[in-house]
A and B are shown apart, each in its own frame.
Chain A
Amino acid sequence: MRRNITPLLFLFPALILLAIFVFYPTIATIWTSFLSWRGWKSTGFAGLDNYIEVLSRSSIINLHRSLLKGPPLGALPHNIIWVVIHVPLSMFLGLLLAVLLRRVRGGFLIKSVIFLGMVIPMVVGGILLRFIYDEHAGVVNAMLRAIGLGWMARTWTAYPDTALFALIFGSVWIWTGFCMIVYSAGLEGIPEELYEAARIDGASGFQIFRHITIPMLKPATMTNLMMTVLWDLKIFDIVYVATFGGPGRATTVLALEMYLDLFFKIPSNPGTAAAIATLLTLITLAFAVYMVRVAMVRR
C-alpha cells in the first residue's frame, strides 16, 4: 500500500503547482471566453458570441483579400503562412548545417554562432530584425547594394507586401540554430556501422544520405516539426517588437490580436481575448495530438 502511495506523494507538489498555474488558468480562460464583459467586469453569459465576433473580424480572417491581392489576409492566415514558409526552411537549413558541419574541424564553433539566434531573447531578436531590414543601416540592404541590387533596397518591414515575409525569413535565422542542434544530436545517434556497411556495399553518398541518414533522423525530424509548428502558431514577441502587426495589419497574428483585445481596447475585452486564446490552443492542441499519434504509430 505504502509503495503505491509514495510515487503520488512525490507528484503532489508538482500537481499543486500545475493546478494553480496551469489547470485553473486554462479553465478560467475558457470560461472567460463564454462571458460578456464591460471592461474588466463580467456582465453575464455570452454563449458563443465572443467566438462569432472574433471569427467574423477581418483582422482574424480577411475574406476580401487573398495571396494574389496581397495583405492583410488576417491573423489566422498569417499564422498559416508562417507555418508553411518557416517550418520547411528552418528544418531544411538546420539539417543541411548539421550534416555539413558534422565532421568539420571546429564545427562546434560555427554551430555555436548559428545557435546564437536561439540564445538571444525573442524581443531582442525583433529589434535586431528592425535594424537588419532598415533601408540605410540594415545588413540586408547593404548586401543587396554589394551585389549590385541596390535598387531593391528598402525598409523591408515598413511595406505591407514585404513585411510578413521579412519577419518570417528573419525568424528562420533565429530558429535554424534550434533545428540544427536537434539534427546534430540525431546524427550522433546513428551507428557508424551502418555507414560502413553501406560503403562496402557500394552505396553512393546521396544513397547513404537518402536511405540511412534521413530515415534514422525521423525522431529528430518529428521533434523539429512539432516544435517549429507550435512556435509559429503562438508567435508573438517578434511581431510585437518589429512591426506591432502593421503596417495596415499586414503582419498581425493570433497571439497579437489576443493581446490587443485585452490591453489596447477601451474598454478592454477579456471575452474576445480569451476566445482567441482558446482557438489558438485548440489549433495547437489538434496539431500536437495528431503528431504524437503519428509518432506513436510509427514506434
Chain B
Amino acid sequence: MEGKKISRREAISTAGKIAITAVITGVVAGVGGYLAGTSVAPPKTVTKTVTKTVTTSVAPPTPKVELTVFSLWSGKEEENFLKALRAFTDETGIAVKHVPQTTEGLMIGLPTQFAAEASVADVVVAPWPAWIRELGKEGHIIEVTDLIDPSKYPPSYVKLVTSDGKIYAAPFKAWAKPGFWYKKSFFKKHGLTPPKTWSEFLDLLEKLKKIPGIEAPIASGDSVGWPLSDVTEAFIIGRGSPDLQRDLIAGKVTFTDPKVRAVFEDLVDLLKKGYFSVPDEWTAQIDKLWAEKYGIYFMGNWMTTMPQVKDVKDLGFFPFPETKGAVAGGDWVIVPKYTKHPEEAKKLLKFLAGPKGQEIMVRAGGFLATNVDVPAEAYTPADKAVVDFLKTVEVVPDLDDAIGGEFQRTFWDQLKLLWTRPEMLDDVLETLAEVHTKAVKKKS
C-alpha cells in the first residue's frame, strides 16, 4: 500500500514538471518560432475561408495560370466582385481564385508571408493606404506608377498610396460614410423626419428615446473598433470642420487642441444623455436597427448591400446635420513582389482599376467607382443618392485609416472606453494626443 501511495504522488509531481516544461517552452517558442520559421521555411498559410474559382463561360484557350486574389469581401460584396473577376477571365483567359480574408487575416497574414519573401496571393485588394505605403517602402509590393494613369482618379486616392514619388497601388473602390441610416417605415410610423440642423437632430434623439421598445436612439457598432471611429469622425467634420479632420491627419493639431476638445464635448454630451447604445457587434446592430430596437445607425454606403437590411427600399439615410464634409475612402489593388505570375497579376490590376472592371461593380450596387470614366448612369438609385450627396460636400480621408498603425488601434480602443465612461474624456484625449503625436511624427 505504501509503495502504491508514493508512486501516485510521484506520478502527479512528475506530471506537474512535464506540464511546466511544456508551458515554458510554448511561451518561449512563441515569437521566436515565428521569426525562426521565416528563415527556415515559408510559413504554411491555413485558411478556413471558402475559395471560389471563377471559370470561363465562353471558350478561350485553356487557362494556364490561375491567379489568387485576396480581399476583405464576403457575402453580397464578394458576389459582386466575382462578377468583375469573371469578366476578366472571359476577356483574358486567365483564371482567378478569390479567397476572402478577415481584417486581421489580411493585415497580419500578408506581412507575415512577405517577411518570408513569399505570397499566396497574386493580387490583393486592401483598404489601408498607410499599410500599403509601408509595404511599398519595404519593397514587398510592385510599383504601379507606369501601370495606371493617375489623371483618371481623384488625386487624393493616388496621393494616399504614393511615397517618394512612387505609386504603390491602383485605386479600385471608393466608399463613403455619408451619414445616419434609418428604417423609413419606422420613422413614418412614429411621425419622425430626418433632421437638417443640429437642434432638429437633438430633438429627434429625444423623441426616439421616448419610443417604447427603443434601447437607445443611436446604435453603436463594435468589432475591432472602426464603427465608433467612423461616427466620431463624423462629429469631427460636422461639429468641427473638414479642415479639422485634415489637420489631424497632417498632425497640425492634436486631440488636446481646444477645437478638437469642443467636438468631443458635443459627443460626450450625447453619450452622457444615453443617446448611444453600448457598443455591440456591428452587423448584429443592423439586425436590431431593423427590429426597431435602435432608431438610427451611422454607417458607410455598404449598408445597402448588408443582408440584415431586409428591404433596401425601406432604408433611408440623412447626412450628419449641418456637415460640410464626409469621409470617403477606398480599396486599392496591390501586387505582391513575390507573385509567381507578375504579368498576369498586372493585367488584373489594370482591369480592376479600369472603367470596365469598375462599371461591372457599380452596376452590381454598393460600389462607388474611383475611375472617372465610369458612366454616371451605371449607379443604382441608392448609390446615386450617396454620390449626389458627396458632390455637395468636401470629401476628406478617413482619419485612422490614413494614419494607421498603433494610432488606429489606440483610437478604436480609447473610443470604446469613452463610450462607456464619457467622464474620462480628459484621459482619452491625452492618450490619443500622445499616440497621435508620435504617429504623425513617424509618418512625416
Contacts and interface: CB of A to CB of B under 8 A. Distances in A.
Given A191-B1, A265-B406, A266-B404, A248 B32 contact: no
A28 B111 contact: no
B416 A25 contact: no
A227 B16 contact: yes
A227 B111 contact: no
Contacts of A46: none
Contact of A27 (B9, B32, B279, B427): B32
A154 interface: yes
A249 B278 contact: no
B424 interface: yes
Interface string A105-135: 0000000000000000000000000000011
Nearest to A278: B28
Nearest to A233: B27
Contacts of A260: 406, 409
Given A189-B9, A223-B16, A250-B417, A266 B131 contact: yes
B393 interface: no
A222 B33 contact: no
Contacts of A263: 107-108, 111-112
A86 to B, nearest CB: 15
Contacts, number: 187
Given A266-B130, A280-B27, A28 B32 contact: yes
Contacts of B111: 40, 263, 268
B19 interface: yes
Contacts of A193: 1
B90 interface: no
Interface in B395-444: 404-406, 409, 412-414, 416-417, 419-421, 424, 427-428, 431
A21 B279 contact: no
Contacts of B225: 244, 246
Given A226-B19, A227-B19, A264-B409, A160 B417 contact: yes
B438 to A, nearest CB: 11
Contact of A264 (B20, B30, B406): B406
Contact of A244 (B107, B224, B431): B224
Given A247-B413, A265-B406, 6 more contacts: A21-B33, A154-B278, A161-B421, A263-B108, A265-B405, A266-B130
28 contacts: A20-B40, A21-B33, A24-B36, A25-B33, A28-B35, A32-B31, A32-B35, A136-B215, A155-B278, A158-B416, A160-B420, A161-B421, A219-B13, A223-B12, A245-B413, A246-B225, A246-B412, A247-B413, A247-B419, A247-B420, A248-B414, A248-B431, A249-B413, A260-B409, A264-B409, A267-B138, A292-B17, A295-B16
